Chain A
Amino acid sequence: MASDNNTTILAIDNLSCERGGRRLFEDLSFALSPGDVLVLRGPNGSGKSSLLRVLAGLLPAADGVIQWHGRDISDEPAPWQRSLAFLGHANAIKAAMTVSENLAFWAAFEGSNSDSGDALDALDLKPLADLPASMLSAGQQRRLGLARLATRLGGCWLMDEPTVTLDANSVAKLRDLIARHRQAGGIAIIATHEDIGVDNARTLILGEVT
């Protein structure tokens, strides 16, 4: 998938990250255009999660520039934050609230651009909508975490091991969801050990740079 400079929306230039005095990766550069998916691979501890957290702005980068639509995100974080949807290891679910309440809160807080009923449908959560989240299995909780991203089609998704605890059927749903997200002009950066089977995905392999 060619991404020439005219359509690049996310550009990473010479990014380095250091944690606890150890260089996790250095001089990382890539550019993504609307519809691009980048799959991050590498052994445990190679910095996949850290890269996602640096991109999200949760971790400071040791070096390098991240540009969203040509603007440095450290100068202008707001447009980047508005387009960003982050799925970490944890699903950000409150056990005391129902499935639909959990989703409705994040939709209201993050200012979602699509219908949360649709998002529940996309991950087969409709029948569980009124259940307290404490009743969900691990895989169902992961689907609820993904449903939050489904309300944010078309921006940039940062996903850390999205398929953990998902069954084959749900992985297929996730694949469909990513396809819809790309159609809406969205990009996704996915750290994973499993093959999700996304078409035309680019791959970045992080090695252990010690």
Chain B
Amino acid sequence: MSAFLALVRRDVALAVRRGGEAALTLGFFVVTISLFPFGVGPDPELLGRIAAGIVWVTALLAATISLDRLFRPDLEDGSLDLLALSPLPLEAVVVAKCLAHWLVTGLPVTLLAPLMGLMLQLDLQAYLPLIVTLAIGTPAISLTGAIGASLVLGARRGGALIGLLVLPLYVPVLIFGISAVEATLAGLPVMPHILIETAILFVTLPLAAFAGAGALRLAME
């Protein structure tokens, strides 16, 4: 357990340092969302209707741009070999790295979402389901992303390839995240959508751990 926490702490520290991914990801999230009022016009009604979708899709993209840095630096500097050699199972290494990735991307994005909602005239009722589904959905995004990130380690230009691989896999997370917001606005029960979103997270967790560890073993051979 102490090895797991040491790894999470190191990855978070590396991400928030100068040149780390955390600030870049958040900057991308805020700047991209700010483009939408220019793109679709400042009509508050139109913006309010698409606000939740904008926040969700931008959150997916923001998480994806830093995915190529999830395992590649460790592969290049030899750290991955040592991570694989320790008694901590490689599956746990993958989960630790995903947790660190979420702490510096998904979590801050979730916390910033209300502010972005304000800018986009999001309906007052929609804030709570948006934040809750983001809080549940973004860890699933980091985990799904880890599968893609580990698979493209062999490719020289992994960055764009990761997007192609994982963005389609984000569709279920996106659908149930948005449908929770829609259900609230329509006055329908919101719990089923949140429960399905949670179920997706719990399915993704072991899937990402095993698939990611398998792909990492292949990359190290």
The answer on A and B forming one complex is yes
A91 and B78 form a contact (CB under 8 A): yes
Least distance between A198 CB and chain B CB atoms (Å): 23
B85 and A91 form a contact (CB under 8 A): no
Give Cα distance in the complex from A94 to B18, angstroms: 13
Instruction: Tell me which residues across on chain B come within 8 A of A109, comparing CB atoms.
Output: 3, 6-7, 10, 82-83, 86, 88
- Assess A91 versus B84: contact at CB under 8 Å? Given A96-B17, A108-B2: no
Least distance between B7 CB and chain A CB atoms (Å): 6
Which residues between 1 and 60 of chain B lie within 8 Å of chain A, taking CB atoms?
2-3, 6-7, 10, 13-14, 17-20
Which residues between 199 and 221 of chain B lie within 8 Å of chain A, taking CB atoms?
220-221
- Assess A94 versus B77: contact at CB under 8 Å? Given A82-B87, A109-B86, A110-B3: yes
Interface size on B, residues (CB 8 A): 26
**Prevailing SS type, chain B contact patch:** helix
With A58-B221, A90-B78, A106-B82 given, name 15 new contacts (CB 8 A): A58-B81, A58-B85, A59-B221, A78-B87, A81-B85, A82-B87, A84-B85, A94-B10, A105-B6, A105-B10, A108-B2, A108-B6, A109-B3, A109-B10, A109-B83
B85 and A56 form a contact (CB under 8 A): yes
Least distance between A142 CB and chain B CB atoms (Å): 12
- Asked if A93 is at the interface of the complex by the 8 Å CB criterion, the answer is yes
- Asked if B79 is at the interface of the complex by the 8 Å CB criterion, the answer is yes
Instruction: Name B78's contact: one of A77, A92, A97 (CB within 8 Å).
Output: A92
Give Cα distance in the complex from A106 to B74, angstroms: 13
**B-contacting residues of A (Cβ < 8 Å)?**
56-60, 77-78, 81-82, 84, 86, 88-94, 96-97, 105-106, 108-111
B220 and A58 form a contact (CB under 8 A): yes
A88 and B6 form a contact (CB under 8 A): no
A92 and B79 form a contact (CB under 8 A): yes
Give Cα distance in the complex from A96 to B15, angstroms: 10
Give Cα distance in the complex from A57 to B89, angstroms: 13
